[in-house]
A and B are shown apart, each in its own frame.
Chain A
Amino acid sequence: MADHVENAVNNVSNDGTEVNRHTETTPSRNEVELNGQPPTARPPQVLTDSEEDEDEELTLKYGAKHVIMLFVPVTLCMVVVVATIKSVSFYTQKDGQQLIYTPFREDTETVGQRALNSMLNAFIMIGVILVMTLVLVVLYKYRCYKVIQAWLFFSNLLLLFFFSLIYLGEVFKTYNVAMDYFTLAVIIWNFGVVGMICIHWKGPLRLQQAYLIMISALMALVFIKYLPEWTAWLILAAISVYDLLAVLCPKGPLRILVETAQERNETIFPALIYSSTVVWLFNMADSAETGNNSSHPVPQQENQVAMAPTAQPEDDGGFTPAWVNQQQHQLGPMQSSEDSRREIQELPSARPPPVEDDEERGVKLGLGDFIFYSMLVGKASATASGDWNTTIACFVAILIGLCLTLLLLAIFKKALPALPISITFGLVFYFATDNLVRPFMDQLAVHQFYI
């Protein structure tokens, strides 16, 4: 979610010298961070003008750098999904199977019936997500970290072994590659085990990023295959609204999660956040390395847990947005508490501000965002009759939405969800390009007119 992104970017652009600028979203956090000083009484600017201006410019430069650090993985994920959709026909075939979360069928006689069924499907899906979020909040509140950790581990296991096996099988079928089971077993075993190690423990950053992108792409492909047409679009729209409400409303589950994490001063390390750099904290007495590969739990924190909201996979399409959304939640708490801890430790002592380079403070984005962006672009390439035009248009729209989200973050310095703006742009451009631009461009191409 953009929670994380926002906070991450916020933190990134605020280096040690601008601690005072690091405005927090909740009062508790403010009090904690400013170390006893009443938040309202603290002047907003402590630095002199020239430092402030330099920092503004640095902020802009570093802000841009972090936008690009998000553009690249999002683009890669989309490229993987589009390449698969275009070449492997398995993921565009509808064999009549649907997830259990979308029980109503769309092959009805009347349009009205179809609309009603798809709306019911979307309601059920969002309801499931809401319930899973609440279960997660309850589990977190009552400190059942082991349950969550095991849940996450098992879901990742299934994804890395089972889904990638299916994917590989379909790729082999498409390209007519003969492969014996022994070789396949060795390949899948190695792929899965290295993935589990990279994501849940330690591993090279690039490898971990690659695995996270791959599992996001796999999830997006599952959604593209198993969600019927109208249901998929409605779910995309509904999930952005849900995201907006859950993050911004005072009683939203995500907000509650964030605040609980802040109160407890905990870092939640879900194994499912994409992190662009290794985060090193030099002056913290308690840890030399935090957030390494975003999955390595900080060792000195016993009560810290890798939260992984995952739905039980009841069928082959078990990883629903519920599971996906849970990942989104963690970004908020993780980022905020990690940074609040850092801030506290930096402020009171007389030691100089940490030597972290802004460039080493990466940005983090929830895998749920990856999944839904890729799902939108994948559906655009799968079902649009405008073909590549629609795909390119959705791609640009989503990137611009992400850019705007980060810009809003820099302006408001508040937790904002990453899905709404991008998905709205994506949906608008999908339908507009498919219905309006495509006939125009087709006519132009036929006559070879150029605009």
Chain B
Amino acid sequence: MTVAVFFGCTFIAFGPAVALFVFTIARDPLRVIFLIAGAFFWLVSLLLSSLVWFITVQISNKNSATQQTGLLIFGVVLSVLLQEAFRYGYYRLLKKANEGLLALSQEDTMPISIRQLAYVSGLGFGFMSGAFSVVNILSDSLGPGTVGIHGDPQHYFISSAFMTLAIILLHMFWGVVFFESCERQRWWALGAVVISHLVVSCVTFVNPHYQGSLIPTYIILSIMAAWAYLCAGGSLRNLKLCLTCKDKDFLLANHRPR
């Protein structure tokens, strides 16, 4: 039972992300490096926000439960804002690196475009965020134990897995939209990304009423997915061509007959 829960939740949480990694990123070493660098940036942002939270907890009243919860909420909001700030910082760093490379090479073709970097960095953020959220829970799900023995919610593991899946994919979409909006100087889009991240995090405050947190999260996920698809240059026409295997450019590029 526990092993089944472990494998089930692991595949739910990390399945799509690992599939994306294996099929689109693993072959290209440059993308792997930028993915890990993105994960590192997320980690640093988490470190800073934990530091601030830790300091506030030390100087607060440890016995008051409401104060501690309030501080935790403050910590969550701060963490979200710092994550987005570090995403912006990573964007600036990548732009600088890209510019440096472009200056050196006379050609226009870069080894990696800013859109690919957006996707890869978003996925890096997502992987790290997902890992930190769920890996400890997964390792606990292996061991002996009973879920919700004191009246806590029974669906702890599976809801965590679904939430993690949503967060990983959301980070990827946020990355794409974020970089695109920075490129086009569309600051309202940037704000929308930050606000949607805040909404997703704040909606988890109603846990364990999972219908209140998972449903809005998945709605935002689908909206962001469509938005990211449009930002990456997709359109309805492209989608139709792709699904009916009539996209000549793609087929030519992959040497497949129609």
Chain A interfacial positions (CB closer than 8 Å to B): 49-50, 53-54, 56-57, 60-61, 64-65, 67-68, 71, 387-389, 392-393, 396-397, 399-400, 403, 429, 432-433, 435-437, 439-441, 443-445, 447-451
Contact = CB atoms under 8 A, between A and B. Distances in A.
20 contacts: A49-B106, A60-B101, A61-B30, A68-B29, A68-B33, A71-B32, A388-B135, A388-B139, A392-B135, A396-B39, A436-B47, A437-B50, A440-B46, A441-B133, A447-B207, A448-B156, A449-B201, A449-B207, A450-B200, A450-B201
Nearest to A448: B207
Contacts, number: 130
Nearest to A435: B54
B136 A387 contact: yes
Given A65-B29, A444-B72, A403 B156 contact: no
Contacts of B131: 388, 392
Contacts of B33: 64, 67-68, 403
Contact of B105 (A54, A68, A444): A54
B132 A448 contact: no
A399 B36 contact: yes
Given A61-B30, A403-B36, A440-B53, A451 B136 contact: no
A429 B167 CA distance: 23
A441 B132 contact: yes
Nearest to A437: B50
Nearest first, the 8 closest Cβ-Cβ pairs linking A and B are A448-B207, A68-B29, A53-B105, A64-B29, A440-B50, A436-B50, A451-B79, A64-B30
Contact of B204 (A71, A387, A448): A448
B54 to A, nearest CB: 5
B139 A53 contact: no
Contacts of B156: 448
A435 B105 CA distance: 45
Contacts of B196: none
B104 interface: yes
A60 B68 CA distance: 49
B128 interface: yes
A315 B105 CA distance: 57
Contacts of A387: 136, 139
B43 interface: yes
Nearest to A387: B136
Contacts of A71: 32, 36
B80 interface: yes
Contact of B47 (A68, A400, A432, A449): A432
Contacts of A54: 105, 107
Given A396-B43, A437-B50, A444-B76, A389 B135 contact: yes
B129 A451 contact: yes
B59 to A, nearest CB: 15
Interface in B149-208: 156, 159-160, 163-164, 167, 200-201, 204-205, 207-208
For B30, B33, B75, B128, which residue has the most chain A Cβ atoms within 10 angstroms? Answer: B33
A393 B46 CA distance: 11
Contacts of B75: 440
Given A437-B50, A448-B204, 9 more contacts: A49-B106, A60-B111, A64-B33, A389-B132, A436-B54, A441-B132, A441-B133, A444-B72, A451-B76
Interface in B12-71: 29-30, 32-33, 36-37, 39-40, 43, 46-47, 49-51, 53-54, 57, 68-69
Contacts of B47: 429, 432-433, 436-437
Interface string B99-139: 00100111100010000000000000000110111011101
Nearest to A62: B29
Contacts of A65: 29
A443 B68 CA distance: 10
B83 interface: yes
Given A389-B136, A449-B72, A449-B205, A396 B83 contact: no
A450 B107 contact: no
B53 A448 contact: no
A384 to B, nearest CB: 11
A392 B47 CA distance: 13
Given A429-B43, A437-B46, A451-B83, A445 B137 contact: yes
B94 to A, nearest CB: 14
Contacts of B83: 451
B207 A57 contact: no
Contacts of A60: 30, 101, 111
B85 to A, nearest CB: 13
For A57, A439, A449, which residue has the most chain B Cβ atoms within 10 angstroms? Answer: A449
A9 to B, nearest CB: 13
Given A64-B30, A450-B133, A57 B107 contact: yes
Nearest to A66: B29
A440 B83 CA distance: 15
A419 to B, nearest CB: 18
Contacts of B164: 450
Contacts of B107: 53-54, 57
Nearest to B53: A440
Contacts of B54: 435-436, 439-440
A447 B137 contact: no
A398 to B, nearest CB: 11
Contacts of B57: 439
Contacts of B104: 53, 56
Contacts of B204: 448-450
